[in-house]
Structure 1
Amino acid sequence: MKDRVIQAYNQLADDYEFNVDQRSIYNTEYERPEMVKQMPSNLNNLSVLDAGCAAGWYTSQLIREGATVTAIDISPKMVEATKRRVKDKANVLCLSLEEELPFEDNSFDLIISSLVLHYINDWELTFKEFQRILKPGGQFIFSVHHPTMDIRLAKEGDYFSHEFIIDQWKRDGKIIEVPFYRRPMQAILNETLKYFKLERLIEPQPTEEFKKIDPKGYHKLMTTPHFLIINARN
């Protein structure tokens, strides 16, 4: 599975660097505004881990707000894109979230993980490591696919299953197979609560700018959420 995710996101790296980060309204006008809203109002001098940094959009924003940032991603091509974006202003590493992380205990004030965890089958080690490296009282914010979105791709239509799915994304006339895992809401919450205290659960809504650009898509998101955001504490 890990190799398939690396392959998919190596293929998607250019699209993320030059298109998704600027033009995808599902990112710019849907997921990101609410994720940013959940972050501390003052990030100055906070130590932050961007866990699954992709092409580095969040990394660059965190740096701009004065944070000391470590950014990690499983895809070498995404790591290269992030390095191009932030130069030497962050520590950018190619690492897997399914393995022990090379950071000291209590290293970070904040961990953010944007639309990454649904690529991981078992969150046990990942969350255990996040708990270890996050300072007491530190904040953990992550977004994933909403279970009501993923059910449309479920082979058996079983909402309560933990299921491996291969989605197909069309990019530049090519079909890229993107594998991920779907979970019911109770699994997402219970696995989070095993290691963290839940502060807030958010089913984001699109911005008014989204509505201007894509009224049909706006109505769809206002009636059927695509993403889920969890704000938790260590």
Structure 2
Amino acid sequence: MERHVWQAEHYRRSNSRQYRTAVEALELAGLHGGRLADVGCGSGEITRNMAERGFAVTASDFSPSMVAATRRLCEGFPVTVEVRDARELKLEPAAFDIVHCSWVLHWLDDIDHALNEMARAVKPGGALILQWSRANARGSEDGVTILHGVMNRPRWRDRLADTPFAMHQHPADEVVARLVSSGLAIELPPTELDAQFVAEPVALARIMRAAGLAAQADKLGDDADDFVIEVATEMIAANQLNPHNTRLIARKA
């Protein structure tokens, strides 16, 4: 996905629930101050929230727009933020009381480096908090199956041939195995969040256009609304509205 399509103002308007679930996860892990790494900081609300609670935060995101928004929102707080692809993540080893990463893993084709780097960055007694979509069993059908069918229709196929949908499936059991092999203990086993998408085509299309289908919408220009509404309508008709959002908390002994 091209970085320029991730625009902070669009993301912020459509992803308030993702913000709330991240705060819930962080509170479950226990918040006692210290250092926190926010991997995939988005438009900065979580980074700001944690800084207000006394954390020194090291934040990163793939999108320059997101990083700029985070810098503005966190001005005056103990926050450092940089443009960084999670596939090339670099964190100080054994330095963070909490490493937090919500709604990023499913955008990575290969999660091994990111998981290893995050696990390595947790200090003894610290926690790694992960939330991601498409944590369902490998090969099982979900909304992405419907999306691929729409993208392959004559109106869209050629125009989107060089803009594939980049949301990958990383089953929860595979993520657990990677973390355990990195020396972490699972504190909160993978828990699927109750996060059905809204079953109304225009509202669902608005959410998808802001994030998941931002690259395709950018490519289609004036036809973007037709495309995202078509996808939303098909997903609702097929009752494939569960993104299989999952939460996991691991801790280093």
Same fold (TM over 0.5): yes
Structure 2 partner of 1:184: 171
One-letter code of the match for 1:197?
Answer: A
SS of 1:43's equivalent in the other structure is coil
Question: Is 2:15 the partner of 1:14?
Answer: no
Cα separation, partners in 2 of 1:178 and 1:39, compared to 1, 3 Å: farther
Task: State how 1:1-234 maps to structure 2 within 5 Å.
Answer: 4-9=1-6, 12-17=7-12, 19-20=13-14, 24-25=16-17, 27=18, 31-32=21-22, 34-40=24-30, 42-44=31-33, 46-89=34-77, 90-101=79-90, 103-148=91-136, 151-155=141-145, 179-195=166-182, 196-200=184-188, 201-205=190-194, 226-234=244-252
Q: Which amino acid aligns with 1:8?
A: V
The runs of 5 or more residues in structure 1 that have no matched partner are 158-164, 169-174
Would the alpha carbon gap of residues 43 and 16 (structure 1) be closer, same or farther in structure 2, given more than 3 Å must change?
farther
1:52–1:73 contact (8 Å) kept in structure 2: yes
Q: State the TM-score, normalizing by the size of structure 1.
A: 0.70
Question: Structure 2 CA distance, aligned partners of 1:197 and 1:190?
Answer: 10
* Matching residue's letter, 1:43: H
CA–CA distance in 2 between the matches of 1:129 and 1:153? 30
SS of residue matched to 2:110:
coil
Offset at 1:202?
2.2
User: Residues 44 and 73 of structure 2 are in contact (CA less than 8 Å); yes or no, is this contact kept in structure 1?
Assistant: yes
Counterpart-to-counterpart distance in 2, 1:225 and 1:123: 19
Deviation at 1:192, TM superposition (A): 2.7
Q: Aligned AA for 1:231?
A: I
1:83 is paired with a residue whose SS is helix
Asked if 2 retains the 8 angstrom alpha-carbon contact of 1:116 and 1:144, the reply is: yes
Q: What is the aligned length?
A: 196
Larger Rg belongs to: 2
Q: Counterparts of 1:188 and 1:5 in 2: how far apart (Å)?
A: 26
Give CA deviations for 1:79-134 in whole Å, capped at 9, x if unaligned.
00101111141111111221251x43222111000111111122221122122222
Supply the RMSD in Å over aligned alpha carbons.
3.4
Q: Which runs of 5+ in 2 are unaligned?
A: 152-159, 204-235
The aligned amino acid for 2:94 is N
Deviation at 1:136, TM superposition (A): 2.0
**Do 1:110 and 1:139's aligned partners in 2 also have CA atoms closer than 8 Å?**
yes
Name which of structure 1's ranges 108-117 and 142-151 shifts more when overlaid on structure 2: 142-151
- Deviation at residue 177 of structure 1 after TM alignment: 7.2
CA contact (8 A) 1:167 1:177 kept: no
Higher strand share: 1
Q: CA deviation at 1:28?
A: 5.0
TM-score by length of 2: 0.65
Deviations 1:131-181 (A, max 9, x none): 2222122200010014349832454x9xxxxxxx7999xxxxxx9975221
Q: Secondary structure at the match of 1:142?
A: strand
Which deviates the most, 82-91 or 31-40?
Answer: 31-40
